[in-house]
Structure 1
Amino acid sequence: MNKIKVNFEKMYYGFPVFLVSYYDKEGNPNVTTISSSYSLRDMVALGFSSKGYAINQIKEVSDFVINIADSKLLDEIEFCGKNTGSECKKFEHLNLTHVPSTTINAPIIKECPISIECTLTDVIESQNYSGITNILALIKGRLVDESYLDEKGNLKVSAFDNILYIRDGVNRGFRYMKKEQ
């Protein structure tokens, strides 16, 4: 293997793409696309552009839901990533159904097979990473469509058809986890 040093603006090497839903400070449901995350036990970390409407609302309202979409929702993911919640109420433009969580004060997206209910605990902003806001949140609940569970209630990994995001600063693309038949 011959490796060549590159100078990409960024390098996303296949992160899961998901929809983050929340109520803004006026109580309107909204949603954005995110691809920077990791979770460990009951903690999740997300990365946002500091200027984004969603992160500034979440910093005020605290509760949000991570909704794992499947490949059927690629158009919705693209729309939510390209449009800002400050200019449009995205749910009004999409065939997505928001339903209130019974655990936190945030909407769940019915069409997404997995929803993770979260409450903000920490906001991390540093001069070393200007324009980036990282947050930590406590996972308060996990909801999984029954088709993603086996007869014992465990995840059926073979049912996953989620979307991965890849980008180098110029080119971007999506890949899908292959569903086993």
Structure 2
Amino acid sequence: MKEFDTAKLYYGFPIFILGYPDAESGYNITACSSSYSLGSMVVFGLGSDSNTAEQIAHFKRCSLNVMSAESLATIEKAGFLHKRPKLTPDIPHIIQDDVPILTDALLTIELKIARVETFLNNTNFTAHVEKRLVRDDLIENDRLVNENFDPIYFVGNQHRRSYRFLEPERSGKLGSYLRQQKKQ
């Protein structure tokens, strides 16, 4: 292994779009890739100086929408355009429980913010999951069809960042590799 001195390192984070109430435009969206989830808690981070961080801290509500590769133009619109309304009529959505739900998302999680903490120039939001919505074709017999869940991942550093995609044929069941090793 070699030391890699870089200001940023993205080692595979799912990209999602946050939908939130916005005091100026009614509702808005932004792209994000900084999150983790434990049970009914989700934590995500944003730059402290962003409109999104300010609005979510104020309204204490948002939706986290996990998108597929078919939505890359929407993801880039949400992420590249700053300080302006981005939730336009060409983006399929509904307003539910006072947050935008992107109707072409693979998965949407409605969140209520429980804690807002700033560290350096980043704001971390700890949220409680109020509702999970999953695209119909990703549920079978009350289970998530893992092989068909294909979010986009963000990988790279400050010099080059790119999208990565899951391959359904590379799916494996949890625990199967250890069982296979024990058989040998």
> What TM-score comes out, normalization by structure 2 length?
0.87
Counterpart in the other structure of 2:111: 118
2-side partners of 1:14 and 1:108: how far apart?
24
Aligned length: 170
Aligned-pair CA distance for 1:105:
1.9
Deviations 1:19-57 (Å, cap 9, x if unpaired)? 000111246111000100001111000011111111110
1:76 aligns with: 74
Q: In 1, distance between residues paired with 2:114 and 2:24?
A: 21
CA distance in 1 between partners of 2:28 and 2:22 (Å): 7
1:167 is the counterpart of 2:164: no
1:160·1:178 contact (CA, 8 Å) conserved in 2?
A: no
1:147 aligned partner: 137
Does 2:102 correspond to 1:109? yes
**Unaligned segments of structure 2, at least 5 residues:** 170-184
Counterparts of 1:119 and 1:108 in 2: how far apart (Å)? 14
* 2:172 counterpart residue number: none
Distance 2:109 2:152 in 1: 16
In 2, Cα distance between the equivalents of 1:50 and 1:91? 21
Distance 1:80-1:162 versus aligned 2 partners, 3 A rule: same
Equivalent in 140, 145, 148 of residue 156 of structure 1: 145
**TM-score, structure 1 normalization:** 0.89
Q: Identity across aligned pairs (percent)?
A: 29
- After TM superposition, the structure 1 = structure 2 runs for residues 1-181 of structure 1, keeping only pairs within 5 Å, are 3-26=1-24, 28-84=26-82, 86=83, 88-92=84-88, 95-101=90-96, 104-126=97-119, 130-150=120-140, 152-180=141-169
The aligned amino acid for 1:115 is: T
Which aligned segments of 4 or more residues in structure 1 are displaced greater than 3 angstroms? none
CA radius of gyration, larger in: 2
Q: Alignment RMSD, CA only? A: 1.6
Structure 1 residue 73: Cα displacement: 0.7
Distance 2:78 2:57 in 1: 19
Q: Tell me how far apart the structure 1 counterparts of residues 90 and 142 of structure 2 sit (CA, whole Å).
A: 29
> Closer, same or farther in 2 for the Cα pair 1:122/1:77, shift >3 Å?
same
Gaps of 5+ in 1: none
CA distance in 1 between counterparts of 2:166 and 2:50 reads: 28
The structural deviation recorded for 1:72 is 0.5
Cα distance in 1 between the residues matched to 2:129 and 2:42: 7
